[in-house]
Structure 1
Amino acid sequence: MDKQAIDALLQKFNESATSEGNARVKTVVNRIVRDLFYTIEDLDVTPSEFWSALNYLAEAGQSGELGLLAAGLGFEHFLDARLDEAEASAGLEGGTPRTIEGPLYVAGAPESVGHARLDDGTDPGQTLVMRGRVLDTEGKPLANALVEVWHANHLGNYSYFDKSQPAFNLRRSIRTDEQGNYSFRSVVPVGYSVPPQGKTQALLDLLGRHGHRPAHIHFFVSAPGYRKLTTQINIDGDPYLWDDFAFATRDGLVPEMRKAEGAEGKPYGVEGNFALIDFDFTLLAESTAAPATEVDRLRAAA
C-alpha cells in the first residue's frame, strides 16, 4: 500500500467522526496513527509483530515500567532538549542545566528551613553533606526558594516504591534561608539498574543496550517569579557516569565530591570523615516567551 492509499484510508477514518471532538487531540493522534501506518508499510511489520508490540506495552503498563521506558528510549531527554531550545530562542540563558525527572518523585516530603537530614541513620554508606545556594542569573541569592531532593538507598531503591524503607526516607524539601543557602546530610548514593527481569530490560536487550544508571541525586528547585528547575547531579567517578541508559548526564551537573572532616562537619552534626559536595543552583526568571517548566504528569503522593 503506497502513502497515497494510506492517506485515503486515514481520511475515511477521520470522516467517520460524529462530533467535533478536540482539535488538538485529533491533530496529535492522527499524526501518530499516520506515522505508524507508514512505519508498518515501510518496514513490512507483520500482524504478529504488531500485536507483540501492543502486548508488550500493556504488560509494561501493568508492571509500572512505562516511566522507565520513556527515559530509556530517550523521550525525557528529547523533551528537555526541546525546552532548552525554546529557552535559547526566547533569549533565556545562564541557568543550571535541566535534566530528566524520572518516575520516582513523591510529593509531600517533610519541609525544613536551611538544612535537612535525609536518612534516618540506618542506611549504610559514606556520610554525605551537600550544600550551596539558590541564585538568580545575576548571582543574587534567592531566599525562601524550595529545594526538593530525593535519591535511592544503598540497594538502588526509593522509599514509597520500596515498602521496606521508612516513609520519605532519603526525601526532603528544604526552604533556603535569607542568604539563599540550603544544605542536607545524607549518605552517598549508588548507581542502580532497571529491574533485570522487567519489560524495560527485555527491550533494551533487543536493542543491544544496558539498563544501568550512575549514582545521582534528583532535585526540583523553585521560587516565585522563576522557572522551575528539574535536574539531578551525578556522583563523579561512577563507571556509568557518561553511559547512563536514561541519557541524563550533562555538563555542569557533575560536581566535585571531596573528602572532608573535623570542624567542617559540625554545622551538620557530622563527626569524622565525610563526603562534601558544594553546588549552587541558578534559576532563570519566568518568561511568557518560553513554554512552562511545570510539567503536568502523574506522580506519587504519600
Structure 2
Amino acid sequence: MTKVFDTTEVQDLLKAATNVGSQDGNTRAKQIVSRLLGDLFKAIDDLDMTPDEIWAGVTYFNKLGQDGEAALLAAGLGLEKYLDIRMDAADQEAEINGGTPRTIEGPLYVAGAPVLDGVARIDINPDQDAGPLVIHGTVTGTDGKPVANAIVECWHANSKGFYSHFDPTGAQSEFNLRGAVKTGADGKYEFRTLMPVGYGCPPHGATQQLLNVLGRHGNRPAHVHFFVSGDNHRKLTTQINIEGDPLIWDDFAYATREDLIPHVVEKSGGGALGLKDDAYKEIEFNFVLSPLVQGKDNQVVQRPRVSVTA
C-alpha cells in the first residue's frame, strides 16, 4: 500500500492549499479546512482509496448539492445528533440541568408563522387521513414558575409525511401544520392540529442513495418539532415523538430521547374546540427552559433557514 501523506511534498501541498502561515484569509476557516483536508488526505492513504472512489465521492457531493439535501444528510449521518451530544456534555460540565432535553432541529423549519396568543389552530388544509390532535402544556423555568410571553413554535408533517413549503405534491398551503403562540402569565400554550405520521427521505435523493450503500433505511417516526424561547432563558430546540410509533427507537436521524415520548390520551368534545371530529387525541407536554449563561444564550444555532412572510 502506497503511503505519501507524511512526505514533504504532501505536507507542503496541504499548507499551500489551505494558505496556512499567510496573514491573508480567515484564520479560523484556514484552521478548520487544514484539519479536514489533512484528515481526508490521510484517510486516502490509510484506506488506499482509488481515484475512481475519490471521483465517485466528488460526484456524490455534486448530487447532494443539486438535491438540496446537505442538512438532511447531516441528520441522517448523526452529525446533528453529535452536536446535541456535545451541547449536553457542555451543560453537564457547567452543571446546567433540569430543562427539557434538546434534540435535533432537522431541515424543515420555516420562519414567519403568525404568532397568536395562547392557542393556535394550525390545520389549514383538510386531511381525511389524519384525526384531530391537541398538544398543550405549560412553559416554565427550572424554578417551576410559568414563563409569560414565551414563544412556542410548532411544525410537523401531514398524513402523507410531507411538510408545507417542502411538499412535492404542492398540496399544502403556506404554514399548514405550522404555528406559533405566545404564552400568557400562566405560561400555557395550545396547538389544535392533526395527527402527523413519520416520513422517509426522498427515495431517489442523495441522502437515501448513501443510506442504501450503508444498508440503512431513511425513515423517521411520527414527531412534532418545537422551538421555545422566553426572556432570560435559553432557546430550546426539541421535538416529541408520537407514542406507539414502531420507529421510535429506530429513527434514522437519532432524535428520540426517553423524556420526549409523551402519553397520547383519547378524548371527546372536539366539536366544542372547533376540531374536525368529536373524538380526538390529546398530548400534554410541559416545557422547562433553562436560564441564560452569564446573560447569554449559548445554545442558539445560526444556520440558513427558510423564511416566509405570512
Given residue 94 of structure 2, which amino acid in structure 1 is its aligned partner? Answer: A
Sort the Cα spacing of 1:15 and 1:286 in 2 relative to 1 into closer, same or farther, 3 A: closer
Q: Distance in 1 between matches of 2:62 and 2:221?
A: 28
CA distance in 1, matches of 2:160, 2:18: 50
Query: Which amino acid in structure 2 is aligned with residue 296 of structure 1?
Result: Q
Query: How far does residue 48 in structure 1 lie from its aligned partner after superposition?
Result: 1.2
Deviation at 1:8, TM superposition (A): 4.6
Displacement of 1:10 = 2.2
Indicate which of 106, 113, 124 corresponds to 1:109: 113
**Is 1:94 matched up with 2:98?**
yes
Check if 1:174 corresponds to 2:174: no
Partner deviation per Cα, 1:39-98 (whole Å, 9 max, x = no partner)? 000001111111111111111111111111000000000001111111111111011000
Report the TM-score, using the length of structure 1 for normalisation.
Answer: 0.94
In structure 2, the residue corresponding to 1:195 is in which secondary structure?
Answer: coil
Aligned to 2:235: 228
**2:140 partner amino acid:** L
The 1:12/1:108 distance shift into structure 2, 3 A limit, reads closer
In structure 1, the partner of 2:253 is 246
Instruction: Report how many residues are paired.
Output: 300
Residue 272 in 1 paired to residue 278 in 2?
yes
Aligned equivalent of 1:31: 35
2:195 aligns with: 188
What amino acid is the match of 2:304? L
Please report how far the alpha carbon of residue 171 of structure 1 lies from its aligned counterpart in structure 2 after TM superposition.
Answer: 0.4
Letter of the 2:289 counterpart: L
RMSD: 1.8
Q: CA-to-partner distance for each residue in 1:185-231, whole Å, 9 max, x for gaps?
A: 10110111001121111110110100010000000000111111000
| 1:146-185 matches, cutoff 5 A | 146-162=151-167, 163-185=170-192
Q: 1 CA distance for matches of 2:164 and 2:6?
A: 52
Equivalent in the alignment of 2:244: 237
Q: Check the 8 A contact 1:86/1:291 in 2, yes or no.
A: no
Show the 5 A alignment for 1:55-74.
Answer: 55-74=59-78
Quote the offset at 1:17 in angstroms. Answer: 6.8
Aligned to 2:207: 200
Aligned pair 1:4/2:9, yes or no?
no
1 CA distance for matches of 2:137 and 2:126?
Answer: 25
2:303 corresponds to which of 267, 281, 297 = 297
Q: Cα deviation per residue 1:143-175 (whole Å; 9 max; x = unaligned)?
A: 110000000111111111223211110000110
Change (3 A) 1:222 1:8: same
Q: Shift of the alpha carbon at 1:7? A: 3.4
Q: Distance in 1 between matches of 2:47 and 2:131?
A: 51
CA 1:12–1:61: 2 relative to 1, 3 Å: closer
Assess if the C-alpha contact under 8 Å between 1:143 and 1:180 holds in 2. yes
Structure 2: unaligned runs, 5 residues or longer: none
User: Residue type of the partner of 1:181?
Assistant: K
Specify the alignment match of 2:133 in structure 1.
Answer: 128
- TM-score, normalised with respect to structure 2: 0.92
Tell me which residue corresponds to 1:140.
145
Q: Quick one: which amino acid aligns to residue 102 of structure 1? A: G
Percent of pairs with identical residues? 50
